[in-house]
Amino acid sequence: MYFTDYHTHTRFSFDGAPHATIDAMCQAAIERGISELAITDHMDIFHLQKYSYILDCRHLYPELLAAKDRYKGRLKVVIGAELGQPMANPKEGRRFLSDHPELDFVIGSVHQMENDLDVYYYNFRKHDPVQVYDHYLDLLTEYAADYDYDVIGHITYPLRYMAEAGFAVNIEQFLDKIENLYRIIIRRDRGIELNLSGFRQSMQTTMPAPKLLKLYYECGGRILTLGTDAHRPEDVGAFLRAGQDIAYECGFRELTTFENRTPSFHKIMGK
């Protein structure tokens, strides 16, 4: 079985655990039989800040290049980034990508909407959950159409925090928008991730949920990565087997990996 974890964070991320060193994350991956580990620390783009505001790239990327050599033959270390909402400051988003040609893989995510505020901080008693997710999909669609990425990340991200606050939305009302998002991604020969962190949280499902993943497959989507969104070594590889099973049940027979921003495909098997 070929296991890959394509969404992880180290202590270089603002919300990474202090003990989530690059070595600790790599050692956890090796112990759990993972073949490829993508380290995708947060590169959130802010309206009035340089990209270096959020991430110490000067030290992170040389350390990742060194880890790539250090673990060769035991673990394929994939140099990644989770590039958040570059539409907030397109110049800085482009500059980050231009300055870092060593990147193998880029997750395109939206965390922050208005006023650089992460959805994590929303009070859903004051913010209508339906309006929030509707607007979130508009931002994802803009990202998917106009910006650079390899896969779009956790497309149901706000639902994670809605669930924690005791709110839920009927996803049926968003299916047309989600299908349109998928078709834009597919036309650009890009993909999505199946984010497994929901299994460790109140929502108790993947992002997107299996029904939405199956819709992606039915639209013709074939580029799919699996990621735990681990922010500490203890969560590296969590639920990867379950994620592969879900992908298989939705029609996928291969999962995607990346090197030098180029996809490769690896066969998976069902239960």
pLDDT at residue number 111: 97
pLDDT in tens, 108-136: 999 999 899 999 999 998 999 999 999 99
pLDDT in tens, 49-101: 999 999 999 999 999 999 999 999 999 999 999 999 999 999 999 999 999 99
Task: Give me 78's structure tokens.
Answer: 């994939």
pLDDT at residue number 213: 98
pLDDT at residue number 204: 93
Lowest average pLDDT, out of 43-52, 54-63, 162-171, 255-264, goes to 162-171
Say if residue 270's pLDDT is above 80.
no
Task: Give me 45's structure tokens.
Answer: 């783009």
Residue 70 identity (one-letter amino acid): R
Q: Give me the mean pLDDT over the 5-26 stretch.
A: 98
pLDDT in tens, 219-237: 999 999 999 999 999 999 9
Q: Which residues, 6 or more positions from 70, have their beta carbon under 8 angstroms from its beta carbon?
A: none
* Percent of the chain predicted with pLDDT > 70: 100
The H or E element containing residue 11 is none
User: pTM, whole model, 2 decimals?
Assistant: 0.97
Q: Which residues, 6 or more positions from 118, have their beta carbon under 8 angstroms from its beta carbon?
A: 111, 112
Task: Give me 179's structure tokens.
Answer: 């299908």
Residue with tokens 């968003």: 174
Mean pLDDT of all residues in the chain?
A: 96
Planar angle of CA 58, 64, 70, nearest 5 degrees:
140
Say if residue 40's pLDDT is above 90.
yes
pLDDT at residue number 1: 83
Q: Domains of the chain (ranges plus CATH)? A: 3-267 (3.20.20.140)
| Distance (Å) of CA 198 to CA 11, 159, 219 | 21, 10, 24
